[in-house]
Amino acid sequence: MKHAIYLYLVFSTLTIINAQNKLPFQLEKDWELKGLKNPESVVLDKTNQVLYVSNVNGAPTDKDGNGFISKISLDGEIIELEWLKGLDAPKGLTIHKGKLYVTDINTIVEVDIANKQVQRFTAKDATFLNDIVADKKGNIYASNTFGLSGIYKLPTKGARKVELWLKDDKLNMPNGLSLSKNNLIAAGWGIDLDAKTFATKTPGHLVKINLKTKKIKTISQPFGNLDGLSETLHGFLITDWLAGSLFYLRKGSDKGQLVIDLPQGSADTYFDKATKTLYIPLMLNNKLLKYHFKK
């Protein structure tokens, strides 16, 4: 009887663990687009139903004027490879009320999508602006990954001058950003960087930053050199740039679960909640991938 009870408890425990570890979705690839030039970020223009992709087109810190933005159809065709030229090393992308915002080394670039008029805002002391997000009011937040662990802000009102909104080593070299209610979620690259390999002694983790108090709270264990960050219906999808992995972090859990293996250089993702579609730029392979959730 005791043996039967023991087996029952073991079986029940394993069932619970498997249920907790099982992903609530599967990814199915729809297409992959070749021909880009070190694509780093992708964003969906919901109004015009097209994608914009940032192309570093060279070294990520070189002010060489080689960078550009591509315009891509939703079925994976290049509409205009160099839709917007004259950038240096464009990375993060976000859209708010007809304006496309781009991080470009130490500058936040605002592009009027309708007429391509460009306005540039320099971020003082910024060394590696990376991902970028816009809140509902139009305030812009950009992560600075290497050089200093910080978040810059371009206010929607006033003089519209970029300010260093938060600088703190607790951000563990922030890369991917996502806004979730009254919090900014940041995916860190890690701690103790090897300048030659860009690996870290301690992998990066996710933190939550209260937008009002700027209080930082760790919300995951360390699990990678994190890059892209997209909120899904019940959690977050995160890329590991060095390892080339896509992870899922369920809300309420602190452990990242491996979803799929990708090539090194998997960068800033975009997840469309309406269609449950995921876009992943492969920076070193010059590709853009599209997946959809499959139950």
Give the tens place of pLDDT for each residue, 24-44. 999 999 999 999 999 999 999
> What are the structural domain ranges in the chain?
33-294
Write the CATH number of the domain with boundaries 33-294. 2.120.10.30
Instruction: Determine the average pLDDT of the residues in 263-287.
Output: 97
Q: Say if residue 148's pLDDT is above 90.
A: yes
Q: How confident is the model at residue 11 (pLDDT cuts 50, 70, 90)?
A: very low
User: With pLDDT > 70 as the criterion, what percentage of the chain qualifies?
Assistant: 93
191/201 Cα distance (integer angstroms): 6
Residue 8: its pLDDT value, please?
A: 37
Burial 61-77 (b: 16+ CB within 10 A, else e): eeeeebbbbbbbebebe
Distances (CA, A) of 222 to 98, 185, 188, 189, 268: 37, 15, 9, 10, 19
pLDDT digits (tens, 9 = 90+) for 203-248: 999 999 999 999 999 999 999 999 999 999 899 999 999 999 999 9
pLDDT digits (tens, 9 = 90+) for 41-93: 999 999 999 999 999 999 999 999 999 999 999 999 999 999 999 999 999 99
Name the amino acid, one letter, at 8.
Y
Q: How confident is the model at residue 254 (pLDDT cuts 50, 70, 90)?
A: very high
Q: Say if residue 18's pLDDT is above 50.
A: no
Look over the chain and give the mean of its residue pLDDT values, rounded to a whole number. 93
CB contact at 8 A, 277 and 43: no
Q: Say if residue 165's pLDDT is above 60.
A: yes
Secondary structure class of 231 (helix, strand, coil): strand
Q: Is 149 exposed, middle or buried (0-12, 13-18, 19+ CB in 10 A)?
A: buried
Pair of tokens at residue 269: 């993702």
Q: 150-154 and 140-144 as β-strands: parallel, antiparallel, unpaired? A: antiparallel
Residue 295: its pLDDT value, please?
A: 73
Name the amino acid, one letter, at 295.
K
Q: How confident is the model at residue 21 (pLDDT cuts 50, 70, 90)?
A: low
Distances (CA, A) of 82 to 49, 68, 85, 106, 290: 18, 6, 6, 22, 20
Instruction: Determine the average pLDDT of the residues in 157-161.
Output: 89
